[in-house]
Amino acid sequence: MIEKKISEYLENAHEIFLPGVSLDVVILGYSENAIRVLLLKLKEYNLWALPGGFIAKNEDVDAATHKIVKERTGLEKLYFNQFHLFGKTGRNASFLQESSHAAKLSADARNWLNQRFVTVGYFALVRIDQVVPQPDILSEACDWLPVDQLPATILDHHEIVNTAIGHVRRQLNYFPVGLNLLPERFTISELQRLYECILNQKMDRGNFQRKILKLDILVRLEKLKTGGAHKAPYLYRFDRDKYQHKIQHGIGFI
Amino acid sequence: MIEKKISEYLENAHEIFLPGVSLDVVILGYSENAIRVLLLKLKEYNLWALPGGFIAKNEDVDAATHKIVKERTGLEKLYFNQFHLFGKTGRNASFLQESSHAAKLSADARNWLNQRFVTVGYFALVRIDQVVPQPDILSEACDWLPVDQLPATILDHHEIVNTAIGHVRRQLNYFPVGLNLLPERFTISELQRLYECILNQKMDRGNFQRKILKLDILVRLEKLKTGGAHKAPYLYRFDRDKYQHKIQHGIGFI
DNA sequence: GCAAAAGTGTTGGAAATACACCCATGC
DNA sequence: GCATGGGTGTATTTCCAACACTTTTGC
């Protein structure tokens, strides 16, 4: 059944999709003190790949991205950004060509797959706890893997992930990513650990607290009931209105 | 003769170039107190367009950009950067379809032109005085036009220019663009006027001087012999070694 | 001398840093 | 009590914006 779907998908691709352009999304989340990327484990290969796909002939590239991320994560409201086009020669869907499905395809379909592809890189920031990872028809598994310990991937997906991280890191100055990566309610320490993870450097506790609160985009909630042997920290959430207003006028955090 | 070249170019395009992907370069320069963009005036239309083109099937996208900028400017050593892929539906080479050349084309060639195109936006920073603008075969003129007074353009080229400016403006923090936009030797005031142009805001003279010199990427040269009724300012040039070193570690200017 | 632009100094306030100090809690 | 993590205070330093002062030059 699935097999048939794959064959159908590949057979019809050349009629439905733009030729030569694909799309890969670096879906980033944060859990257990690590920035993680959602990767798919391909059937028939011991390789991982970014979620991605093709762009329908009558579809905006942004819309195609939204659709892909929604399919893999189940999320509807998304923060995502295009960050780079990867256009080296020699990029193609080689891993599909060698698959067991390729043999059965028509010449048109095979030619379409064999052509060179440029790929548009997007990154998306999501709350890991809200995501139910969903493999696509070409993959057998779907998992959150820490970005600093990537497994073997197809093509240049390693480079795509690293470029994405660089962009997120630079965005941190203008854009408080916590809103998209943390659960609705969180403590300042949790936010600090996220920042330390992204920037890969320790920060002073007291100064971080003052600095982030002075941005005036957080709302303090009731105290956290924790089991820890220490003072219970406050919970905060983002004030979406103030947040929207601030990012338009630019914040300098770092 | 030219007419024949155009027909040949369009007729063969579908065999030589990647389908569905084009490339536009926002070539920026600075003169007479304005940031200027190199635009081409198309034959048969009263519209301007960015220098651009297609990507050969066996050519890196970056290499194609380099080739295009070199052809339009004559420059060999270039600073350029990819900044965005424009991927809305409905983008195509409509202006070419209606041209007098389109009628004579084969069905294959016409179909290739009629398809939807996504386009990769690049910006390049050049020294205007070193450039000899060179129209391409589809254009009758080639001129430096101030970015805040753009003429009517084809497609979304207006948006592409404005997006590019935004990127350059944000880069100013990490990247002292003066090296690429100013002549070899310049005064601090000239550099300040450039910054004021890009950021569209006045800056304090004394503070600008101290700030830019503290970056430690400029070398002071002999005095400028000026005809002005005032103290002759020093000339400076960029210290390329220090410059390269600094931009890798990031400078915070603004 | 005077106007104009350049180079440099000064100064008050803001912001960043590196801590120190208490607080609440579970064991 | 005490270890642990949280919230806040503070002294020091650094930085920055605003403006003043001086220098050089052509008229």
Query: In chain D, which nucleotides are within 7 Å of a protein Cβ?
Result: 3-10, 16-20, 23-27
Strand C–CB B206 distance below 7 A = yes
Contact call for residues B198 and B217 (beta carbons, < 8 A): no
Q: How far does B11 lie from chain A, in Å, by closest CA?
A: 19
pLDDT digits (tens, 9 = 90+) for B107-163: 898 888 888 999 999 999 999 999 999 998 888 999 999 999 999 999 899 999 999
Q: What is the pLDDT of residue B204?
A: 94
Residues ≥6 apart with Cβ < 8 Å to A89: A116, B58, B59, B60
Q: Is the pLDDT of residue A252 over 70?
A: no
Angle, CA of B168, B174 and B175, to the nearest 5°? 60
Residue A123, beta-bridge partner list: A26, A81
The domains spanning B2-171 and B178-249 adopt the same CATH topology? no
Q: Which of B60, B84, B174 lies at the smallest CB-CB distance from A87? A: B60
Residue A194, helix vs strand vs coil: helix
Residue A95 has pLDDT above 80, yes or no: no
CA B125 to each of CA A195, B29, B122: distance values in angstroms, whole numbers, following the listed order:
33, 6, 10
Nearest nucleotide by C1' position to the A209 CA atom = D7
**Taking the domain B178-249, which CATH number applies?**
1.10.10.10
Q: Which CATH architecture has domain A2-171?
A: Alpha-Beta Complex (3.90)
In sequence order, the 6+-apart residues with CB closer than 8 A to the CB of B8 are: none
| Pairing mode, strands A17-31 and A118-125 | parallel
Average pLDDT of chain A to the nearest whole number: 89
For B88, left (φ over 0), alpha (ψ -120 to 50), or beta?
Answer: beta
Domain ranges of chain A: 2-171, 178-249
Instruction: Flag whether pLDDT at B61 surpasses 60.
Output: yes
DSSP SS3 for A128: helix
Beta-bridge mates of residue A29: A36
Confidence of residue A1 (pLDDT cuts 50, 70, 90): low
Better-scored residue on pLDDT, A154 or B2:
A154
